[in-house]
Amino acid sequence: MQHLTYVAMLVFVIVATLPLESVLRVGVYARLRRLGLVVLCAGVPFVVWDAAATRAGHWRFDTSQTLGLVLPAGLPLEEVLFFVVVPLASVMTLEAVRSTRPSWPVGDEVEAPEHHRDLP
Amino acid sequence: MTHTTAVLLGVVATVVLDLVVLRTRLLTRRSFWTAYAIVLFFQLVTNQWLTARGVFVYDPDAIIGWRIGTAPVEDFLFGFALVTWSMAWWVWWGRRGVQRSAPRGPRPAVVRLATRRRRWPAGTTSRSGTARR
């Protein structure tokens, strides 16, 4: 069971946020292209940071508590998935706040008043 | 560079990304701080789970040594940066028109039931005598 310690945390986050998709209709799983771009723009730089810090010896992983698959970056599989799961949960939480408080702007509203392009 | 220095730079980079680069200005929004507070609560729980069991083992020389539970304080700044980056890029891509709004599909029956509107019309006084909020 010990090797499931890390993956259990990831599963917990996914399971805990999943009901938001249907109950609050956050529609994040329904917008996989936009989610994929978030993972690319936010997840990837943090994986690079994480791999660099691991290589620099800031921390190490107890691989007896992971599934045992270590990726070429020197990170356990779970650690890389962390940077998919956390952006997903973050975005779902933001959309959940929007669902329950529609009058609070998030910034991507069609009529967002502060959205204007400056000339180059 | 220590982990402490790295996370402080990460926080600065996050503020610059949100306010200057993407101009999503999430850090000025109530919606963001509400969502962040919710995420922070879950980070306290999950980070405690991982650090108490020693899934991450930190080099004492790389961190300042302040801890919240068993988690180094640096982890919370790292989390703040990751969460804010994620939300800022989500908003930015939405602004650019990438799947700005969720497709409106049929709602599952159980959800319709759970979120059903009250029977009396909005604006009228409810049975308990309180005016509409």
Mutate to test the interface with B, among A7, A11, A13, A41 (most CBs of B within 10 A): A41
* Nearest CA-CA partner of A95 in A11, A12, A31: A31
Residues of chain B positioned with their CB less than 8 A from the CB of A114: 23, 25
**What confidence tier does B129 reach under pLDDT thresholds 50, 70, 90?**
very low
**What confidence tier does B45 reach under pLDDT thresholds 50, 70, 90?**
very high
* pLDDT tens-place values along chain A, 120 residues long: 899 999 999 999 999 999 999 999 999 999 999 999 999 999 999 999 999 999 999 999 999 999 999 999 899 999 999 999 999 999 999 999 999 999 999 999 986 455 555 555
3-class DSSP string for chain B? CCHHHHHHHHHHHHHHHHHHHCCCCHHHCHHHHHHHHHHHHHHHHHHHHHHHCCCEEECCCCCCCCEECCEEHHHHHHHHHHHHHHHHHHHHHHHCCCCCCCCCCCCCHHHHHHCCCCCCCCCCCCCCCCCCC
Residues of chain B positioned with their CB less than 8 A from the CB of A44: none
pLDDT of res. B117: 65
What is the token pair recorded at A1?
């069971």
* Residue B111: pLDDT over 90: no
Instruction: Considering only the beta carbons, identify the residue of A9, A90, A97 that sits closest to B83.
Output: A90
Q: What is the mean pLDDT of residues B34-54?
A: 97
Instruction: Considering only the beta carbons, identify the residue of B39, B57, B98 that sits closest to A93.
Output: B39
Euclidean distance between CA atoms B15 and B11, whole angstroms:
6
Contact at CB, A34 and B93, closer than 8 angstroms: yes
Instruction: Considering only the beta carbons, identify the residue of B82, B94, B107 that sits closest to A108.
Output: B94
Residue of B nearest to A116 (CA): B23
Contact at CB, A87 and B86, closer than 8 angstroms: yes
Residues of chain B positioned with their CB less than 8 A from the CB of A35: 90
pLDDT of res. B108: 58
Contact at CB, B101 and A25, closer than 8 angstroms: no
ipTM over 0.95: no
Residue of A nearest to B98 (CA): A34
Residue matched to tokens 């329904």: A30
pLDDT of res. B91: 98
* Nearest CA-CA partner of B10 in B62, B91, B65, B82: B82
